Structure 1
Amino acid sequence: MTEATSELYCIGCGAKLQTENDQEAGFLPAARLAKADAGEAELYCQRCFRLRHYNEIQPVGLTDDDFLRLLNLIGEADALIVNVMDIFDFNGSLIPGLHRFAGDNPVLLVGNKADVLPKSLKRPRLRSWLTQQAHAAGLRPVDTILMSAKNKADVAELLTKIEELRNGRDVYFVGVTNTGKSTLINAILKQTSGIDDLITTSRFPGTTLDRIRLELDDGAGIIDTPGIIHRNQMAHYLDAKDLRLVSPTHVIRPKTYQLNPGQTLFLAGLARFDFIQGHRGGFTAYVDNQLLIHRTKLENADDFYDRQKGDMLQPPRPDSDVELPDLARFEFTTKQDSDLVFAGLGWINVPAGETVAGYAPAGVDVVLRKAMI
């Protein structure tokens, strides 16, 4: 049994600090703890220290069920729930059964990372699309906001909306991993108190390990909860060098390809798009600007992938420490302008009336949705 240090928690990830087991959450060397002043409030565990200073991730023994148990406590609280979603990865950001976690608490839906979408997409239209998609997924938020944690005006608008809705209650921030939830709370802290980068953030799934409570002036608190880990996201099949490809930080430049039936697009070695039947037309890909796309004939696609995976088609890299599962195939025929989505990687816009197939590593979602743009 790991001995926990009484009443001390890592301010970066929320884990209870302990000095006995360096393979478990919250480990801090005893010598470091002994040197800490008795009143020191901002202690970081060894895992957060390495992540913040060296970008090294250390696995810990928490399971998906551990994260879900923490979220189950939300329904027992009287609070405003702020559901942060990655607008670039809407489908991968959905929390199944969020209403069960929230109980009777109101939910404010926040579409984060709006700054990476093409500027031609106006926010009122995107906000309407986001609300429609949320309703289709069974969510009934009291309001919807689009924003970027990098934009001070957006953060100020979110704070105003939170104050309007919380009525003196606690505010719980919830979301799937990599939605920018902790980054957003850091932006709020920076804007309201001048504190910089208090909570540990990274592209690694599962950075926050326990609830982190930050006190408000009226005695209520802002609580950052651990991100729910969705195994259907592409991030779980990439090594540290390639995680940037599923977390764009710059405005996406759409790439349009004029395709005939019988042509294939490879999104590096991570996903594949086949145009099976229909009319020659434009198919637009919305992915990170650094992700290389290769076009080939459908009849040659299997052989091309076998020969070029890890070479011309990178990632995956030959030296990657993460094994990429075989690609699984999903076929669709569109009835309206649609997006073929590869969870966490991006999407390809498909005109109405076309038959296409999408491939992604087994376990990663490939879905068809109403076109965002």
Structure 2
Amino acid sequence: MTETNDVVFEGQVVHCIGCGAKVQTEDKDQLGYTPQSALDKGLANGEVYCQRCFRLRHYNEITPVSLTDDDFLKLLSQIRDTNSLIVYVVDIFDVNGSLIPGLHRFVGNNDVLLVGNKLDILPNSIKTSKVKDWLRQRANAAGIRPADVALVSAKSNQNVDQLLGQIDKLRDGKDVYVVGVTNVGKSTLINQIIKQATGIKELITTSRFPGTTLDQINIPLDDGQKIVDTPGIIQPEQVAHLLSGKELKLVTPNKTIKPRVYQLNPAQTLFLGGVARFDYVAGDAKHGFTLYVENNLFVHRTKLENATNFYEKHVGEMLTPPTAENVADFPKLVRHEFKTDKKSDIVLEGLGWITVPAGVTVAGYAPEGVAVLIRPAMI
């Protein structure tokens, strides 16, 4: 049943092909709003985008929407009762931030193909077999038992052909649901699949902003089944929710990461712009600490005893992001201390990680609400 303000064309409710929202022409402050003139043009050429997606695609502007976290979860929970293959996309650069421990609450008993995206930003020296094994272990630790694991770069189309082969084998004639948290590249991956199948480029709206896909988007398959791009589950602890688009460019890797090694003595500090901090608190000697973060993110070394005052004086100016205009609203940095008994990574969710040696005490600081974790070293 359609609602009174739904736009209907040839007997079907019209959805934005960028984000999946129902198109409407009456309320510019609600989901799916499209001016009548733009709607007429879109219906004529077969590509209807809501105004939000149009401005996002052409001007990289984001408009607030009224869809709540509960709305996203309700949409995802419908997958539980289907007989389908779940393609679960995570960000290799932010695995802990993109894993959902309760995934099977949303997908039921359906098989899960775990896809690690953004392979292109990892250093070339990393063996993909090791990353696959490590990714499966991280998933298992979160209670997820994938039927298979794939590594791709949706942005550069790396390994997408192999992924399509894995999907076809595992789905065995069933529908495919692509799920994941916001900002892991689901829609970019779907666009690559559509491009290979139809030649159409960038059909679905993509951006750095969390929550771009607002409803399920169906892509028909040759055998009558479909691939469904679902809304990203909102992770409030992701750094992406705290930064503007301009600021995100400074912390979100878009090219292969070049590891940066800093030789630190005990009681020295590194600032990662103004968004994070790392302290070498105690250890028996000078050690090398390797940073895996966006290549252009400014890193500053100083003495631990001076660090807090230095941050308060320079955040928003020397230490950016946040930029000066956003400092007042930026959360305070919260300290998390760790003692290592083996080579480990200190993970700053959404920003990257710092590889530390065994036998040291270190502290990682991230904005309040953003997790800082320790894990066995990935490299």
TM-score of the superposition, structure 2-length normalised?
0.95
Corresponding position of 1:101? 106
Secondary structure (helix, strand or coil) at the match of 1:65 reads: helix
Report the Cα offset of residue 195 of structure 1.
Answer: 1.0
Aligned residue runs from structure 1 range 124-135, under 5 A: 124-135=129-140
Which of the residues 344, 347, 358 maps onto 1:341? 347
Secondary structure (helix, strand or coil) at the match of 2:78 reads: helix
Say whether residues 1:254 and 2:259 are aligned partners. yes
Say whether residues 1:16 and 2:18 are aligned partners. no
Report the Cα offset of residue 31 of structure 1.
Answer: 3.0
Residue identity in the other structure for 1:289: N
Corresponding position of 2:115? 110
Say whether residues 1:26 and 2:32 are aligned partners. yes
Which of the residues 351, 359, 367 maps onto 2:357? 351
Q: Distance in 2 between matches of 1:59 and 1:2?
A: 24
Corresponding position of 2:315? 309
| Percent of paired sites with the same residue | 60
Q: Distance in 2 between matches of 1:250 and 1:43?
A: 32
Corresponding position of 1:228? 233
Q: Distance in 1 between matches of 2:322 and 2:251?
A: 13
Corresponding position of 2:58? 53
Say whether residues 1:142 and 2:144 are aligned partners. no
Report the Cα offset of residue 36 of structure 1.
Answer: 4.8
Q: Distance in 2 between matches of 1:344 and 1:322?
A: 21
Aligned residue runs from structure 1 range 84-233, under 5 A: 84-152=89-157, 154-233=159-238
- Cα deviation, 1:101-137, whole Å, max 9, x if unaligned, reads 1101000000010110000001111111111111111
Of stretches 50-59 and 143-152 in structure 1, the one that deviates more from structure 2 is 143-152
Corresponding position of 1:5? 7
- CA separation of 1:36/1:271 partners in 2, compared to 1, >3 Å: closer, same or farther? closer
Report the Cα offset of residue 2 of structure 1.
Answer: 8.2
- Cα deviation, 1:278-317, whole Å, max 9, x if unaligned, reads 1321000000001011000000001100111111101110
RMSD: 1.5
Corresponding position of 1:297? 303
Corresponding position of 1:368? 374
- CA separation of 1:111/1:35 partners in 2, compared to 1, >3 Å: closer, same or farther? closer
Q: Is the 8 A contact 1:239 1:322 kept in 2?
A: no
Corresponding position of 2:324? 318
Question: Which runs of 5 or more structure 2 residues have no equivalent in the other structure?
Answer: none
Report the Cα offset of residue 153 of structure 1.
Answer: 5.4
Q: Is the 8 A contact 2:101 2:144 kept in 1?
A: no
Report the Cα offset of residue 147 of structure 1.
Answer: 1.3
Q: Distance in 1 between matches of 2:92 and 2:123?
A: 12
Q: Is the 8 A contact 1:27 1:47 kept in 2?
A: yes
Secondary structure (helix, strand or coil) at the match of 1:16 reads: coil
- CA separation of 1:254/1:153 partners in 2, compared to 1, >3 Å: closer, same or farther? closer
Q: Distance in 2 between matches of 1:296 and 1:119?
A: 30
TM-score of the superposition, structure 1-length normalised?
0.97
Q: Is the 8 A contact 1:11 1:199 kept in 2?
A: yes
Q: Distance in 2 between matches of 1:195 and 1:329?
A: 47
Residue identity in the other structure for 2:294: D
Secondary structure (helix, strand or coil) at the match of 1:275 reads: strand
Q: Distance in 2 between matches of 1:237 and 1:78?
A: 37
- Cα deviation, 1:56-97, whole Å, max 9, x if unaligned, reads 100111111111111101101110000001101111111130
Secondary structure (helix, strand or coil) at the match of 2:321 reads: coil
- CA separation of 1:107/1:159 partners in 2, compared to 1, >3 Å: closer, same or farther? same
Residue identity in the other structure for 1:336: K
- CA separation of 1:354/1:15 partners in 2, compared to 1, >3 Å: closer, same or farther? same
Report the Cα offset of residue 276 of structure 1.
Answer: 0.8
Q: Distance in 2 between matches of 1:176 and 1:150?
A: 17
Q: Is the 8 A contact 2:316 2:327 kept in 1?
A: no
Report the Cα offset of residue 3 of structure 1.
Answer: 2.3
- Cα deviation, 1:207-257, whole Å, max 9, x if unaligned, reads 000000000011100000011111111111111102123431111011111
Residue identity in the other structure for 2:217: I
Secondary structure (helix, strand or coil) at the match of 1:101 reads: helix
Q: Is the 8 A contact 1:234 1:246 kept in 2?
A: no
Corresponding position of 2:271? 266
- In the alignment of these two chains, the number of paired residues is 372
